[in-house]
Chains A and B, each alone.
Chain A
């Protein structure tokens, strides 16, 4: 399995990473190298094997439906790139 240049550009877009044309060529070679390494596990017969999602069998704990967090609004807004009136600012998305 190897990626075409167009596929590399599509994946970069899905990942929201802008890549220049010359970068795409470099990434294509490197990503295909990694995919060929990954290819080694694809031939393994895994019929009847349960997928292992986690290192230990874990379950989600339940907790009381109660407020446990205190208000950190100011501290969290203080590290944001752009804020106004207690809100995060982003470029306009709705006309």
Chain B
């Protein structure tokens, strides 16, 4: 049962062959057994989970029939959930019990999906390996010597080890797609503005976007039906009519035009990842797709641009952690400034401090034009690359990451090396486009490889169709790590 899809779990519940309480108990038992090895969860509260499960069962007993009613889910600890400890992976919020629900949490509650727990993550979503979490690193279920990726590494590991049938994530520069790739699951970063940021703790507001993580594209489509939607409390939430993200799943791929960016297959791409991704693209040709080479010439600039814009926005967003209204406050201080400085020195980890300091510097007097304004201009060039590429193709495909999961500690001493591991994912956030990663095989080290599918704005249903048709023809998404 642990390898059941959301559709199968929903059927069990609908046919009365299992209750939500039973499903939650099964997953909680798996978590109890396997989480000590993986550290995928920061907070578990079985009583609260079962309370929510009983409520879902009661709703069904009253005749309700929501498509995912009673199916449990895990939430990244970046989403504020009323009554749950919501830490964002930081000492700064290690004692913060949220007094309200994020819009995403409200949506899942409305759908009747109990929360199995809050998943581990890089501190304030800043990291690509989950090693910056105040609560310790997450281990990759495929090989506990490897990182699961980040920043949604806890969600990815939880789904990969089937400790949860699905999880939420957030993606600012690859934080859903990169860990999905490194743990062999499916993860979707929607078009910017489709999923409300209300109650989703802010990192870089012009880039942050929540999305689903689950074994399959079909699961992600069902989750998008719950997560997406207009919310007036997020000023960048898009007012669009509701969509059924499953509506195109069954369409054949005949005539699909796949763009292959030459910049995604050049120097820096590991040979085993290249081989695996090329085999996946060959499978797409068998399914009736055509391929065309496209150019995204400004790709190499995406990492430098991101490390101006994201830290600049972060330095502003994280100014709120001052020890006054919530979270950590230093115990000894001489005056107000001293209280701020000690609170932030003790509450934030090294990576968060680095990014706040970079952001403070690039926004400071005399440097704004040279850094921030220039980065915003190059950001437009990067977005224009995609607009031109989509003249020639329906979707873009390439590797999600240049290598399979690296070892714990391998890049933690050198921030720049860590940043460069997001070379294929960052440009998508800068452009605001949707991006999807699906498992497509394994590298020479036996660790998973992800295929990235990038779509034009608002083409999630099409992208999920493209992913689903591949998953009908292959079984990478049903593979699970040994001993799990």
Point out residues on A near B: beta carbons under 8 Å.
3, 7-8, 11-19, 27, 30-31, 33-35, 37-42, 44, 46, 49-56, 58, 60-61, 63, 72, 75-76, 78-82, 88, 90-93
Contact = CB atoms under 8 A, between A and B. Distances in A.
B102 interface: no
A94 to B, nearest CB: 10
B235 to A, nearest CB: 6
B476 interface: no
| Chief secondary structure at chain B's binding surface | helix
Contacts of A90: 324, 336, 339
B195 to A, nearest CB: 13
B447 interface: no
Interchain residue pairs A-B with the least CB separation, the first 4: A55-B432, A51-B376, A55-B192, A46-B377
Interface stretch (B259-267, B341-349, B402-410): B341-349
Contact of A76 (B191, B325, B353): B325
Contacts of A8: 357
B361 A31 contact: yes
Contacts of B348: 17
A34 B311 CA distance: 11
Contacts of B307: 34, 37-38
A51 to B, nearest CB: 4
B326 A52 contact: no
B354 A34 contact: yes
B189 to A, nearest CB: 11
A17 to B, nearest CB: 5
B192 A50 contact: no
Interface stretch (B17-25, B246-254, B281-289, B298-306): B298-306
A39 B127 CA distance: 21
A54 B354 contact: no
Most A CB contacts (10 A, CB to CB) among B329, B341, B419 go to B341
Nearest to B351: A30
A91 B336 contact: yes
B207 A46 contact: no
B379 interface: yes
B445 interface: no
9 contacts: A15-B315, A18-B345, A34-B419, A37-B307, A42-B371, A55-B206, A79-B96, A79-B97, A91-B335
Contacts of B337: 16
A52 B371 CA distance: 13
B292 interface: no
A51 B193 contact: no
A8 B370 CA distance: 18
B36 to A, nearest CB: 29
Contacts of B319: 16
B358 A31 contact: yes
B55 interface: no
Interface in B90-115: 96-97, 99-100
B235 A42 contact: no
Interface string B293-330: 00000001101110110000001000100111111110
Contacts of B303: 37
Interface in B173-208: 191-193, 206-207
A17 B304 contact: no
B207 to A, nearest CB: 7
A54 to B, nearest CB: 5
Nearest to B331: A81
Contacts of B323: 81
Contacts of B329: 81-82
Contacts of B206: 53-55
Contact of B341 (A17, A54, A63, A76): A17
B217 interface: no
Contact of B322 (A16, A46, A56, A58): A16
B464 to A, nearest CB: 20
A27 B307 CA distance: 16
Contacts of B301: 40-41, 44
Given A35-B358, A80-B324, A46 B364 contact: no
B34 interface: no
Nearest to A93: B336
B256 interface: no
Interface string B222-240: 0000000000100110100
A17 B345 contact: yes
Given A37-B303, A38-B371, A75-B99, A53 B419 contact: no
Nearest to B333: A91
Interface string B72-96: 0000000000000000000000001
B341 A18 contact: yes
